[in-house]
Amino acid sequence: MSRKLAAEFFGTFWLVFGGCGSAVLAAAFPQLGIGFVGVALAFGLTVLTMAYAVGGISGGHFNPAISLGLAIADRFKWAELIPYWIVQVIGGFAGAAVLYVVASGAPNFTAGGFASNGYGALSPGHYNLLSCLVAEVVLTAAFLIIILGSTSKAAPAGFAPIAIGLGLTLIHLISIPVSNTSVNPARSTAVALFAQTDAIGQLWLFWVAPLAGGAVGALIWKLLLTPGESPGMIGQESPQQH
User: Across all residues in the chain, what is the average pLDDT?
Assistant: 91
More confident residue, 27 or 198: 198
Task: Check if the beta carbon of residue 34 is closer than 8 Å to that of residue 27.
Answer: yes
Q: What is the pLDDT of residue 139?
A: 98
Q: State how far the Cα of 74 lies from the Cα of 208, in Å rounded to an integer.
A: 21
Q: Is 66 exposed, middle or buried (0-12, 13-18, 19+ CB in 10 A)?
A: buried
In contact, 135 and 174? CB cutoff 8 Å? yes
pLDDT at 99: 97
Burial level of 158, CB count in 10 A (0-12/13-18/19+)? exposed
Candidates 190, 185, 237; CA nearest to 63 is 185
How far is 212 from 157, CA to CA, in rounded Å? 29
Phi first, then psi, for residue 121 (nearest 5°) are: -65, -20
* Tens-digit pLDDT profile for residues 159-184: 999 999 999 999 999 999 999 999 99
Q: Rounded to the nearest 5 degrees, what angle is found at the Cα of 172, between the Cα atoms of 87 and 185?
A: 25
| Closest residue by Cα to residue 225 from 125, 154, 127, 157 | 154
The terminus-to-terminus CA distance of the chain in angstroms comes to: 16
pLDDT for 225 equals 79
**How far is Cα 62 from Cα 85, in angstroms, rounded to an integer?**
9
Angle CA(207)–CA(9)–CA(18) in degrees, nearest 5? Answer: 80
Kindly state the average pLDDT of the residues 4-27.
95
Regarding pTM above 0.85, the answer is yes
pLDDT score at 228: 59
Could you give the residue ranges of the DSSP H alpha helices within the chain?
2-14, 21, 35-58, 64-72, 81-103, 129-150, 160-179, 185-192, 205-220
Q: What's the pLDDT band for 40 if we cut at 50, 70, 90? A: very high
* Eight-state DSSP code of residue 74: T
pLDDT band for position 226 (cuts 50, 70, 90): confident
Q: Which CATH superfamily is domain 2-225 in?
A: Glycerol uptake facilitator protein. (1.20.1080.10)
Segment 17-35 shows an average pLDDT of 83
The pLDDT of 112-130, averaged and rounded, is 97
In this prediction, residue 64 carries a pLDDT of 98
